[in-house]
């Protein structure tokens, strides 16, 4: 389903050599940062395409699993690179930002663009309820370690904090695996789109070898460009007078999720609301309940220190309110242009707040 | 629709001269305060009536706009007067209080009184969903500057804070204009009452001239009496041992919204629940998304300093919880007496808390 | 309805003499604590049974009242004993824990076990909405005194705090009485189960005398064993390295509500979801809106000092998020196994957090 816009973003591959050239030429950090950012968008698309191609060989269950697991692979790669550099704050910011971007910006744009074309757009209410409760659980589980950190910060409880975060990660990953089992196996009917799916899109089928090789190459490319991106991130913040939280929440998050956001919006314009919402909300859930806990565990291996999920209080409140709003706005199974405006307004307001928070 | 109780509150006009007399006689502040308060109730009704009369000449769309915009004119006038006196804290308290009074007290009384007469009362669910999400957005947008203020208070970020509040005000006003467009133009069908509206009430139609002149005179009267009211507010608090927050949240808010609250309750008793809820919730939305941001901009012109929307944390939490409760209680399109009790209980509890907070 | 498991837990009565023996033998605190805890489970069942037997003589209205009022009698007894010992913190923790255990653990286990047997389980949506809004009111009313305590802690406002809590207790008890009136008298139809009720269970009817005498004896036994339990609680915490909050929230709460939790789960497995949810949610509502305010008033008589409802901030947030989640998960009138998993995961996460909070 992601082929549609492919011709439109192919040319962004040109930013791969540009970013490298700028880095060698010691150009200013923002130039390097945004070139690397743009180059990751088509790479992310490529990862998405090859995963989908692989999925055509595996049957629905495994295919769904593959899609779900690799769906946020670009975000994961960027985060691991930042983790190795010890930029825990920026990783957390980019995770929170990715959720906000999916919930508010991608879904909002989909509702708005779709709503301009269609008076009302209907979609499956049952799946929305599952997504909403998963998102709320996600927020709760991110609140716990943050609250713990705030409440115990003066008490030198770092060992307890590490243990809590590790066990939390294990519980969340278990919950996520059961969620996939629920979604793919026992209650797949809940997630059926009313428009009949997207079988017509399997026309240009790849061989298994091609899909696997493309996936590997694209992943390596993503890792390399992420290295460039993350390397320039902090300096970019300083040059532009933006906090590293702002860089993480807004820029890193939009870059990592651009391919999926574009898909969600395209589906909205095509009146395939179930797919659109499934991409936007599914991606948020994955980041919170799969990528975030996975990063805690990965950080124990690759990082200089274990990364704990102690999001700053402001981001937790922002996430919580966004999840509530998304649940309320999307909850009745019918969207219109103004619902899109509502979601986008809140995204803009939150971005504004982060922009104005003083760079300390 | 507001004529019904007119005979009942006409006599309150007598409090205009009484308030002036008491002020001249240098009576105790509470006497002046409550006289001025009572005199504003029929003036607010007069503003409402003349707006509605004007609206009969303009067609539905502009009429709706007029009603919506002038609906909280008394609140706006009181707030501007207090703004000029530099009483920012009291303005914020009265805004928060007006929202609480509409959401909990007016809607609660309407449900209770209506529910005593009718076993269950049904109303349009679609509009409730729009109102609920608008209210949540309102709370989110009031949380942002308050959170910013709390998080950055020690960092001398006042310039950033002013900019954030100004931009926020512009975004909210834009969102409000689009909301009117949505409500009046593109999706007017969402807000249709099932009882067929209130056409029968246009019997005693005024001429345009009479409506305009009445509107102007009533507005001037409101401004004058607000001056008296606000002038006595702080002293009243001291005499009665109440904090200025309590005076603002409870008394100023109830006075400013009395006319509308009475309308909402009257409609409830007449089983016109859509109108009743539309008044109560519509008014809350207007205060948060139109009056509040407008006051930020007005404060830059008339006030000694820009007023920022940094509500005290307690009020933000109270607003947030009230919006959630109202959304949950009203959300299923069917009211009964106990739902009214639920809303009123929460109002009483919150008022109690504010009453007992020590006057610092 | 509670007879079903009776044979299964009869043998737990053996822990009454065991607990006494251990106490005399000055065994380690945890042994005494857990023996006393286990002995309370069948006593609580006995209280439940005798109440139900009495109810068969009184007609539906009074019977409902009896059941509702005595439903959390064991919790009440444990709390009063702890109150007399001045353990306010532990009482509050056990109240919060009882709500969490009902909302998340009992309802979650009921959904999970029922869902393993049945693909989807349907239940009455109307009653769920009432329960959800009552729970939200409960959380709001517990937030108020806690917020007051946090906001005014440095200002020596203890007298105001006591008054606020007393008035709050009176308002909540009034609200609860009206709720019973609503539920039993004016809107009993809202709470009807679709499965037709449980008339078949009145087979082994007791005489009034037997029911009353059993109720009295069981209550005395509960009080005695609670004394043993509470006496060993603090020492148990020290020995096991657990905070008294953890002991209160997890252990005391589960013990007090064990009988009801088992009933809720049994009903879930029997596909009587309305009963199951009614027990779990009804019990939570009762604890928050009946037991908690009642304890405030009782504390003025029996305790060394008035107990105020100033829950620690972490518990309030946990309660609030759990209520939201429960409302969202249960709100559509249809459960499945994964909904159970969702609720249980959140319970586990919260328990983990409390476990790792340093014992100060």
Of B325, B329, B357, the CB nearest to C152: B357
pLDDT band at B201 (very low <50, low <70, confident <90, very high): low
Provide the pLDDT for residue A319: 93
pLDDT exceeds 50 at position B18: yes
pLDDT exceeds 90 at position A104: yes
Chain C residues with CB inside 8 Å of B337's CB?
182, 186
Q: How far is B353 from chain C (nearest CA, A)?
A: 7
Q: What is the pLDDT of residues B62-109, one digit of tens each?
A: 776 677 677 788 888 888 988 988 888 888 988 999 999 999 999 999
pLDDT exceeds 80 at position B191: no
Q: How far is A307 from chain C (nearest CA, A)?
A: 17
The pLDDT mean for chain A works out to: 84
* Residue B12, C-beta contacts closer than 8 angstroms, at least 6 positions apart: B38, B39, B41, B42
Q: Which residue of C has its CA nearest to B337?
A: C182
Q: How far apart are CA C203 and CA C195, in angstroms?
A: 19
Of A314, A339, A349, the CB nearest to B151: A314
Q: Looking at residues B184-211, what average pLDDT do you find?
A: 70
pLDDT exceeds 70 at position B196: no
Q: Is the dihedral of CA C155, C159, C160, C162 positive or negative?
A: positive
* Residue B312, C-beta contacts closer than 8 angstroms, at least 6 positions apart: B92, B146, B245
pLDDT band at A159 (very low <50, low <70, confident <90, very high): confident
Chain C residues with CB inside 8 Å of A139's CB?
321
pLDDT exceeds 70 at position B60: no
3 state DSSP class of C5: coil
Chain A residues with CB inside 8 Å of C338's CB?
130, 178-179, 182, 186-187
Task: With CB atoms and an 8 Å threshold, state whether C141 touches B342.
Answer: no
Q: What is the pLDDT of residues A44-77, one digit of tens each?
A: 888 888 888 887 777 666 776 677 677 788 888 8
Q: Which residue of A has its CA nearest to C314?
A: A147
The verdict on A339 touching B (C-beta cutoff 8 Å) is: yes
Chain B residues with CB inside 8 Å of A358's CB?
152, 155, 157, 160
The verdict on A317 touching B (C-beta cutoff 8 Å) is: yes
Q: What is the pLDDT of residues A263-289, one digit of tens each?
A: 888 888 888 888 888 888 888 898 999
Task: With CB atoms and an 8 Å threshold, state whether A152 touches C357.
Answer: yes
The verdict on A327 touching C (C-beta cutoff 8 Å) is: yes
Q: Within 10 A of C193 (CB to CB), how many other CB atoms are there?
A: 18
Q: How far apart are CA A309 and CA A142, in angstroms?
A: 6
Q: Which residue of C has its CA nearest to B358?
A: C157
Task: With CB atoms and an 8 Å threshold, state whether A160 touches C356.
Answer: yes
The verdict on A356 touching B (C-beta cutoff 8 Å) is: yes
Q: How far apart are CA A100 and CA A350, in angstroms?
A: 9
The verdict on B140 touching A (C-beta cutoff 8 Å) is: yes
Task: With CB atoms and an 8 Å threshold, state whether C339 touches A133.
Answer: yes
Q: How far apart are CA A278 and CA C225, in angstroms?
A: 53
Provide the pLDDT for residue B167: 93
Tell me which residue of B309, B320, B313 sits closest to B167, measured CA to CA.
B309
Chain A residues with CB inside 8 Å of C345's CB?
137, 141, 171-172, 175
Whether the CB-CB separation of B255 and B41 falls below 8 Å is answered with yes
Q: pLDDT tens digits for chain C (360 residues)?
A: 444 445 567 788 888 999 989 988 888 899 999 999 889 888 888 888 888 888 777 766 677 667 767 778 888 888 898 898 888 888 898 899 999 999 999 999 999 999 998 888 888 888 888 889 999 999 998 888 888 887 776 555 778 888 899 999 999 999 999 998 888 888 877 777 655 444 445 567 888 889 889 988 988 888 888 888 888 888 888 888 888 788 888 888 887 777 778 888 888 888 888 888 888 888 889 899 999 999 999 999 987 889 989 888 888 999 999 999 999 998 888 899 999 999 999 999 999 988 887 765
Q: What is the pLDDT of residues A132-141, one digit of tens each?
A: 999 999 999 8
Q: How far apart are CA C225 and CA C43, in angstroms?
A: 9
Q: How far is C353 from chain A (nearest CA, A)?
A: 7
Q: How far is A33 from chain B (nearest CA, A)?
A: 26
φ, ψ at A121 (rounded to 5°): -125, 125
Q: Out of A149-153, B29-33, B273-277, pick the least confident.
A: A149-153
Provide the pLDDT for residue B3: 46
Q: How far is B146 from chain A (nearest CA, A)?
A: 11
Whether the CB-CB separation of B100 and B251 falls below 8 Å is answered with no
The verdict on A151 touching C (C-beta cutoff 8 Å) is: yes
Tell me which residue of B318, B280, B22 sits closest to B142, measured CA to CA.
B318
Percent of chain B topping pLDDT 90: 22
Of A331, A337, A349, the CB nearest to B171: A349
| A109 sits in which H/E element | helix A107-117
Of C119, C352, C358, the CB nearest to A168: C352
Percent of chain A topping pLDDT 90: 23
| Angle between helix A158-180 and A125-152 (nearest 10) | 170
Q: How far apart are CA B236 and CA C78, in angstroms?
A: 47
Q: What is the pLDDT of residues B326-345, one digit of tens each?
A: 999 988 888 899 999 999 99
Alpha-carbon distances, residue A172 vs A134, A177, A357, B189, C30 (angstroms):
11, 9, 31, 44, 31
Q: Which residue of C has its CA nearest to B327?
A: C133
Whether the CB-CB separation of C354 and C184 falls below 8 Å is answered with no
Provide the pLDDT for residue A199: 47
Half-sphere CA count of B342, side-chain side, radius 13 A: 31
For testing the chain A interface, which of C322, C338, C344, C355 should be mutated: the one with the most A CBs within 10 Å? C338
Angle at A114 between CA A110 and CA A115, to 5 degrees: 110
More confident residue, B32 or A5: B32
The verdict on A322 touching C (C-beta cutoff 8 Å) is: no
The verdict on C317 touching A (C-beta cutoff 8 Å) is: yes
Q: How far apart are CA A322 and CA A339, in angstroms?
A: 13
Please give the ipTM for the structure prediction.
0.87
Provide the pLDDT for residue B174: 94
Task: With CB atoms and an 8 Å threshold, state whether C342 touches A175.
Answer: yes
More confident residue, A332 or B150: A332
pLDDT band at A200 (very low <50, low <70, confident <90, very high): very low
Provide the pLDDT for residue C99: 92
> Using the 8-state DSSP alphabet, how is residue A304 labeled?
S
Task: With CB atoms and an 8 Å threshold, state whether A314 touches B160.
Answer: no
Largest separation between any pair of C-alpha atoms in chain A: 60
Query: Is B241 buried (19+), middle (13-18) or exposed (0-12) by CB count in 10 A?
Result: exposed
pTM > 0.80: yes
pLDDT band at B61 (very low <50, low <70, confident <90, very high): low
Tell me which residue of B245, B359, B349, B341 sits closest to C167, measured CA to CA.
B349
């Amino acid at each position: 389903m992601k082929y549609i816009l492919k011709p439109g973003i192919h040319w962004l591959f040109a930013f791969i050599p540009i970013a490298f050239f700028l880095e060698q030429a010691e150009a200013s950090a923002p130039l390097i940062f945004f070139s690397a950012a743009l180059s990751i968008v088509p790479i992310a698309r490529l990862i998405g395409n090859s995963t989908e191609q692989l999925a055509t060989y595996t049957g629905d269950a495994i295919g769904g699993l593959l899609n779900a697991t690799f769906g946020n692979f670009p975000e994961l790669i960027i985060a691991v690179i930042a983790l190795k550099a010890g930029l825990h704050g920026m990783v957390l910011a980019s995770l929170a930002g990715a959720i906000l971007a999916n919930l508010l910006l991608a879904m909002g744009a989909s509702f708005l663009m779709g709503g301009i074309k269609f008076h009302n757009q209907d979609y499956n209410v049952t799946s929305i309820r599952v997504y909403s409760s998963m998102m709320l659980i996600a927020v709760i589980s991110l609140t716990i370690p943050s609250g713990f950190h705030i409440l115990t910060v003066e008490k030198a409880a770092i060992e307890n904090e590490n243990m809590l975060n590790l066990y939390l990660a294990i519980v969340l990953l278990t919950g996520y695996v059961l969620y996939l089992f629920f979604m793919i196996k026992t209650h797949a009917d809940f997630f059926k789109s009313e428009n009949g799916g997207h079988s017509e899109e399997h026309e240009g089928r790849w061989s298994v070898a091609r899909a696997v090789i493309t996936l590997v190459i694209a992943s390596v490319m993503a890792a390399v460009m992420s290295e460039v991106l993350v390397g320039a991130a902090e300096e970019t913040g300083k040059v532009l007078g933006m906090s590293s939280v702002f860089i993480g929440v807004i820029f890193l998050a939009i870059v990592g999720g651009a391919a999926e956001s574009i898909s969600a919006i395209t589906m909205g314009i095509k009146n395939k609301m179930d797919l659109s919402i499934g991409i936007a909300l599914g991606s948020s859930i994955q980041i919170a309940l799969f990528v975030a806990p996975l990063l805690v565990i990965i950080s124990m291996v690759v990082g200089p220190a274990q990364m704990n999920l102690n999001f700053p209080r402001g981001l937790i409140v922002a996430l919580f309110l966004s999840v509530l709003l998304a649940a309320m706005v999307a909850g009745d199974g019918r969207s219109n242009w103004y619902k899109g405006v509502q979601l986008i307004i809140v995204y803009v307001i939150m971005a504004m707040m982060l922009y104005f928070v003083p760079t300390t």
